[in-house]
C-alpha cells in the first residue's frame, strides 16, 4: 500500500497544469479600449503647455461686480423701473460707461437713452441699489464732442484713451467755485470714457461702445429737438471731433482713486491674515 501511495504522489503532481510562456505575458487590451486610452492621453494637457496667464486674467476680471452672473441683468431691471414714462418716454438703449468728472475722477455709470431724456445712474452693483439719477432732457443737448483727453500744460495729470463729452448749455460757463469744488455737479456738460470691462467679451464690447453711443444719442436728440424745440436753442446737434479738456492740475486724489479703481464696484481683497 505504501508503494502504491508513493506511485500516486508523483502522478498527482504531474497532473497540475503547466503555464506556457505565452500565458505569463500580460494580456493586451482590446483594440477599442486602447484607442480610447490614447485619446484621453492626447487630450490631457502636458505640464509644459499649461499657462498661468489666462487663469490670472479671469481672477482679475472677477473683481468687477458687474461681471458676476446675473448682476448686470438685475441692475438694468432696477434702473428701468425708475424711468418715468410720462417724462422720459420709452427706453431705447442701455449702456455701461465710465464718467470722468472735472477733477479727473472715474465713476462707474449705467446710462439710458429714452425718447426724451439721457439718464445717468450711479448704481451700486454690490448692494443692488441706485444711489443717484441725473436726468438730461434731449432737446437741450446742443453739442457732442469726442476725442483724446488733454490737460493744462502745468498739470501733472495724464490720461490715455478717448472721451466723449455731451454739452447742453453753451452760453453758461462753470463758475470759479465749481471748478475748484470736487463735489460740484452744476456743470453744463458730462464726460464719458470706456468702461474697463469693454474688451472682455463681445457682449460688453457692444454695451460699452462709445461710437455707437454717440450715434444713438445724436439720433435721439435730433428727434427730441424736432418734436419739442427748446426756446432759444438751434434745432440740431453739432458733433465735433476735438480734444476733451480737463482743467485739473495736481489731482493726487484722482490719481490714487483711478489707479485703485475706487469709482467702481469691485472686490477689494481679503483684509485678514
What the block records as the C-alpha cell of 43 is: 487630450
Q: Alpha helix locations (H) across 113-191?
A: 176-179
Cα of 160 vs its chain's centroid, Å: 18
C-alpha 38: how far from chain center: 41
- Residue among 107, 239, 244, 245 at smallest CA distance from 164: 244
Q: How far is CA 17 from CA 12, 24, 96, in A?
A: 11, 13, 81
110 near 95, Cβ under 8 Å?
A: yes
Give me the tens of pLDDT residue by residue for the chain, a chain 273 residues long.
444 444 444 444 444 444 444 444 444 545 554 544 444 444 444 443 333 444 555 555 668 999 999 999 999 999 999 999 999 999 999 999 999 998 899 999 999 999 999 999 999 999 999 999 999 999 999 999 999 999 888 887 888 889 999 999 876 777 666 777 777 778 899 999 999 999 888 999 999 999 999 999 999 999 999 999 888 776 789 999 999 999 887 767 777 877 888 899 988 765 444
Closest CA to 266 of 64, 108, 107: 64
Q: Which residues pair with 252 in a beta bridge?
A: none
Helix (H, G, I), strand (E, B) or coil at 165: strand
Fold held by 59-259:
PH-domain like (2.30.29)
Contact criterion met (CB below 8 Å) for 147 and 165: no
Give the Cα separation of 69 and 261 in Å (integer): 21
Indicate the pTM of the whole model. Answer: 0.74
119-152 pLDDT, tens digit per residue, is 999 999 999 999 999 999 999 999 999 999 998 8
Q: Report the C-alpha gap between 242 and 260 in whole angstroms.
A: 29
User: In this structure, what is the dihedral angle of CA atoms 74, 79, 82, 88, given to the nearest 10 degrees?
Assistant: -140
Give SS3 for 122: strand
As a whole number of angstroms, the distance between CA 146 and CA 193 comes to 10
Distance separating alpha carbons of residues 76 and 26, to the nearest angstrom: 65
Distance separating alpha carbons of residues 237 and 222, to the nearest angstrom: 6
Strand partners, 30: none
The kind and range of the H/E element at 68 are: none
Give, for 207, the enclosing helix (H) or strand (E). Answer: helix 202-207
10-48 burial string, b = 16+ CB within 10 Å, else e? eeeeeeeeeeeeeeeeeeeeeeeeeeeeeeeeeeeeeee
Amino acid at each position: 500500500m505504501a508503494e502504491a501511495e508513493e506511485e500516486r504522489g508523483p502522478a498527482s503532481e504531474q497532473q497540475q497544469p503547466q503555464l506556457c510562456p505565452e500565458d505569463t505575458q500580460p494580456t493586451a487590451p482590446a483594440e477599442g479600449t486602447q484607442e480610447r486610452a490614447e485619446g484621453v492621453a492626447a487630450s490631457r494637457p502636458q505640464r509644459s503647455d499649461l499657462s498661468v496667464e489666462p487663469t490670472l486674467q479671469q481672477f482679475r476680471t472677477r473683481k468687477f461686480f458687474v461681471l458676476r452672473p446675473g448682476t448686470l441683468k438685475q441692475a438694468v431691471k432696477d434702473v428701468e423701473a425708475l424711468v418715468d414714462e410720462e417724462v422720459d418716454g420709452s427706453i431705447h438703449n442701455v449702456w455701461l460707461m465710465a464718467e470722468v468728472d472735472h477733477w479727473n475722477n472715474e465713476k462707474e455709470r449705467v446710462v439710458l437713452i429714452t425718447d426724451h431724456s439721457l439718464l445717468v445712474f450711479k448704481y451700486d452693483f454690490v448692494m443692488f441699489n441706485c444711489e443717484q439719477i441725473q436726468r438730461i432732457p434731449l432737446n437741450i443737448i446742443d453739442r457732442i464732442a469726442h476725442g483724446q483727453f488733454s490737460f493744462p500744460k502745468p498739470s501733472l495729470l495724464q490720461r490715455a484713451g478717448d472721451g466723449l463729452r455731451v454739452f447742453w448749455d453753451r452760453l453758461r460757463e462753470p463758475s470759479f467755485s465749481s471748478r475748484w469744488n470736487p463735489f460740484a455737479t452744476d456743470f453744463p456738460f458730462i464726460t464719458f470714457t470706456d468702461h474697463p470691462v469693454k474688451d472682455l467679451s463681445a457682449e460688453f464690447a457692444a454695451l460699452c461702445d462709445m461710437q455707437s453711443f454717440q450715434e444713438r444719442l445724436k439720433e435721439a436728440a435730433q428727434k427730441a429737438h424736432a418734436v419739442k424745440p427748446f426756446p432759444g436753442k438751434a434745432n440740431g446737434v453739432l458733433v465735433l471731433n476735438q480734444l476733451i479738456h480737463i482743467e485739473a492740475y495736481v489731482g493726487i486724489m484722482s490719481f490714487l482713486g483711478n489707479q485703485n479703481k475706487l469709482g467702481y464696484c469691485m472686490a477689494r481683497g481679503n483684509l485678514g491674515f
